[in-house]
Amino acid sequence: MQIHILGICGTFMGGLAALAKEAGHRVTGCDAQVYPPMSTQLQRLGIELIEGYGAEQLAIKPDLWVIGNVVSRGNPLMEAILDAGQPYTSGPQWLAENVLRGRWVLAVAGTHGKTTTTAMLAHILERAGLAPGFLIGGVPQDFGTTARLGDSDFFVIEADEYDTAFFDKRSKFVHYRPRTAVLNNLEYDHADIFPDLAAIETQFHHLVRTVPRSGQIVVNAQSEALARVLSRGCWSEVARFDAADGWSAQGDDATFDVLLRGQTVGRVQWNLTGAHNRSNALAAVAAAHHAGVMIDAACEALCSFQGVKRRMELRGQAGGVAVYDDFAHHPTAIATTIAGLRAQMRSDLAARGARLLAVFEPRSNTMKLGTMKARLPEVLRDADLVYGYGGGLGWDLAAALAPLGGKARAFDDLAALVQAVATDARPGDRVLVMSNGGFGGVHDQLLAALDARAAQPAAASS
């Protein structure tokens, strides 16, 4: 079958394209902006990419058009497909019917930590010899790709609550029909499509309704929102983590014991930071255990987990300054990421006296709408210096950061932001860049500017 994918460079749709190609389909696609890293990954797979949504693509005559949720009515190609009466479907529905049907699906949902937890779970199953398929909204360092079909009945998927398509406003995850469902946490997000938290809770309730009686729901016991979701009805076994009577962790970031109902059942020693990653680990171990993996084997597998690109990823060092990249797209994620790096710095003797410089871009739809701007001072307060990029926002970033006083500045010009960070940074400092987009290549710009500044004294003395 030939399929043509609209919105192919999105993380989900690009992963779907890779799965379709691996399954033997002929795959082509288009997007408004064909850009790396997804464009590079797809071209490496031999998938033809077309820039834009021109109606002339109708001449491709695929067997099926697969529509990403970036596409809306008025899109010229979509209008041509509708006028011609061509067959089309959504990405999640195609995935459910062509990849997930008949498999043991392990779906990881939640506002935060989906990508990392999904990658952890896939890694555990891989190390246990179960050869799972997976579709992850990031690139796990252990696999080097966002998606694969796998050679077993198991399939691990990042289960997003965002809507499916312009013609299907249900959350993507209701299509996946998991046997094991992880509910990591739940906060208000996606202000562009959900009016309030209650609306998101309803979508999570729909997900719970799809889990069979023989399945299991792995849920964060600390989330009041998830407790409300389950109170609306639950027909499956429930395993709770971050709970004394369920799964819990004891120790620090680098080394911790995994406990089940108060009894130590495994130990994890790794390089990840933050209490949030300990919780992610508990969720992954619990889900893997439901799929038949021994607990000690799951914990041992996590000891070799390498993390996910753009999740506290060290992008480089220049002039004695380390530059990190993180996907943090929500105020809670910003606070958690800063806390994780701060904890890492406290445990590193070489980092004593060093500062944490936070560079962030409010790029998600929720943040661009200004829905959570009032939380920014609170979640950024533990950074020593703060640099915000407000280019293209419809609200005043400088005013939102004003409660932080002189340690925070807002910029509408990216070059000016880069220069300010390079001027302020001192050897030993950590620069933490947070955005759910490419951020104009600011990471490489920062490293280049820091390199140039470090070279100045040497040039002057020669």
Q: What is the CATH number of the domain that holds 8?
A: 3.40.50.720
pLDDT value, residue 333: 82
Same domain, 365 and 331: yes
Mean pLDDT of all residues in the chain? 91
Domain boundary among 91, 119, 143: 91
Domain boundary among 271, 302, 333: 302
Could you list the residue range(s) of the whole structural domain that residue 337 is in? 313-461
Cβ-contact 89, 64 below 8 angstroms: yes
| Tally of domains in the chain | 3
pLDDT value, residue 462: 39
Residue 97 included in any domain: no
Same domain, 294 and 375: no
In this prediction, residues 176-192 reach a mean pLDDT of 90
In this prediction, residues 383-411 reach a mean pLDDT of 90
pLDDT value, residue 374: 87
pLDDT tier at 444 (50, 70, 90 boundaries)?
Answer: confident
Same domain, 85 and 111: no
Same domain, 291 and 340: no
pLDDT value, residue 441: 83
Residue 84 included in any domain: yes
User: For residue range 243-256, what is the model confidence (pLDDT) as tens digits?
Assistant: 999 999 999 888 99
Count other C-beta atoms under 10 Å from residue 378's C-beta.
13
Q: What CATH number did the domain enclosing 344 receive?
A: 3.90.190.20
Same domain, 131 and 275: yes
User: For residue range 263-294, what is the model confidence (pLDDT) as tens digits?
Assistant: 999 999 998 887 889 999 999 999 999 999 99
pLDDT value, residue 261: 96
Same domain, 428 and 373: yes
| Those residues with Cβ within 8 angstroms of residue 37's Cβ, 6 or more apart along the chain or in another chain | 139
Same domain, 320 and 295: no
State pTM to two decimals.
Answer: 0.82
Say which residue, 253 or 228, is predicted with more confidence.
228
Same domain, 156 and 238: yes
pLDDT tier at 35 (50, 70, 90 boundaries)?
Answer: low
Residue 248 included in any domain: yes
Sheet with 237-241, strands from edge to edge, namely 147-148, 133-135, 154-158, 104-109, 180-183, 216-220, 237-241, 247-251, 255-260, 263-269
Same domain, 259 and 141: yes
Which residue, among 3, 345, 287, 313, has the nearest Cα to 123 in the 3D structure?
287
Residue 307 included in any domain: no
Domain boundary among 91, 123, 158: 91
Q: What CATH number did the domain enclosing 123 receive?
A: 3.40.1190.10
In this prediction, residues 106-120 reach a mean pLDDT of 93
In this prediction, residues 438-447 reach a mean pLDDT of 85
Q: Is the pLDDT of residue 451 over 60?
A: yes
pLDDT tier at 76 (50, 70, 90 boundaries)?
Answer: very high
Residue 96 included in any domain: no
In this prediction, residues 41-68 reach a mean pLDDT of 94
Same domain, 249 and 268: yes
pLDDT value, residue 459: 46
Chain centre distance of CA 154: 21
Same domain, 255 and 390: no
pLDDT value, residue 137: 86
Q: Is the pLDDT of residue 227 over 80?
A: yes
Same domain, 41 and 67: yes
